[in-house]
Structure 1
């Protein structure tokens, strides 16, 4: 029949070690006598989140504040960049991008595209045509899209499935291919893209695990990883019930955090894990947050993350965000849209209008001042140096 000590071990979730069990009276005493104890053994194998887009979006964008803010910041700021045509007649294309469909504005349309790229690595745009003209653009969810490869391996069609109904888009139909597939670079996929959230998956799991551990510690403040060791012969039924009741009633929960544990009758507390200070808990979580921001191209200073920063101030970090992340993303997307719709709107180059970006005003002012002071340049050369078309009365 199991002893009360064994019952207490099972109730606490521990395994009693045979070599620490009470020795018979005939056994010679050891150098250090121990009559009872508990031990906990567990494999230190990490559990990682699956890297499929649905799982990463669920544990990342929906449950992690750093991922959520990074995606929102990059998508909203990039979609808000003013666009201009630097070559060709781009008024028709710019008007279409400003009002792509009846449901959403151009900013909301582009924001969806950028968010899809950040979370899945791919984005899809449908061209709505009528009488040989492109009259609208519609973003389609990447998780509902399936590629149909042609004889050469490149997509010959796309199948979009919603609520069990599938619609096929053949790329050879219409004035332009009906589907534009955008993708970030992926070293091992010819068609799909590698999203930043997948590159930050390890840091994401560490950050989420740290938050879950902290929450569990608050909810279960009186039972951190450790063992109650009883040095006596055995616990009586009354002693066992009293000890269990005191732990559950007086020491469990966030409201009892920090309350000292009163031990009597040969009980001793043996910690079996590192404390938050020993494991540098806060710094590990902050380092994971900085790695997530790094994957999305957002300076940690912009997100308010603590730690060392390579930028002297917030304004410098903001300029780095625009120069290194937002403007390249907007430029490559504008070029892809213009190239895709070239059969309808002609050859047009769409670029972000840097003169209208407030964060870069100081850079433009410095450039204008240097160009204005260059007396060896003609007026046309000065206009070309600052990015304005030569011979135009206004930029």
Structure 2
């Protein structure tokens, strides 16, 4: 009763669109309106950087301009030690995120200036200087001609007095010409190279899935047992609710398992064990397991018997009739020395 329950997190999970994944992280994305830093995936998922280096890079990127980020300054600010921070800074420097350069100040002092780049790969791209379009040339406004001096007769003529009761009609003013809207300037060329996809499109043809196993002979008894086993799966796993069409398609594969002397409890355990959550396609999962996990046929009694060792013919020992020496030969007789002696004896006598 004293365990706190995070009802806000539970409510946020129910509001996520689409089905939730069975494993792995579930993201609840709430847009930031203040106090946030943009971090690229090239840094957050960098395969060559340690977790300490990635975290330190994110912290450095979130600090304001001019903040000291030396080893001692970072060790005083964060819980990691100086050795761990120094190793992380070396990693960032090796991958181009950090650069430390020695600079001479005007007063003669030598200081180390640290520069952090949030995207070092962008510095390697060719940069194109954006050219501003030239302002449109406007003609100077036309000057009104100077008024001519009045004629002497008009100047001498007395002006007629204005009638008090009659109002002079004013001519309506001509409508002012509509101002033309200024043309939108042409878009400036981009200051970076166009994006080039590094992952080539898949070109290898996808292999078709293996077919369902089929028995050598689908008898009525095998078909009845396979249909009963598939229909009974929902008693052991509530997710495995199959339609009649699914059972009709999967029954030959179960019959192939039964034909290979597989116990029904073994088949049921294979099909219901460690089911994914949530299970959206039960028939596809059973089809995959029945195809991939098909056991081989049981070996026969002759296959389990130990193989007979090959008999090696051994030449027996014989006793030489001349010198009584033992030697190997298939039949009794003389040894090699006695045979040579008997062969040389007649030859010398003939000579």
Structure having the higher Rg: 2
Q: Do both proteins adopt the same fold according to a TM-score greater than 0.5, normalized to the shorter chain?
A: no
State the TM-score bracket (shorter-chain normalisation): under 0.3
Question: Which gives a bigger RCO, structure 1 or 2 (Cα 8 Å, sep 6+)?
Answer: 1
**TM-score (normalizing by structure 2):** 0.23
Q: By percentage of residues, which structure has more strand?
A: 1
**TM-score (normalizing by structure 1):** 0.21
Q: By percentage of residues, which structure has more helix?
A: 1
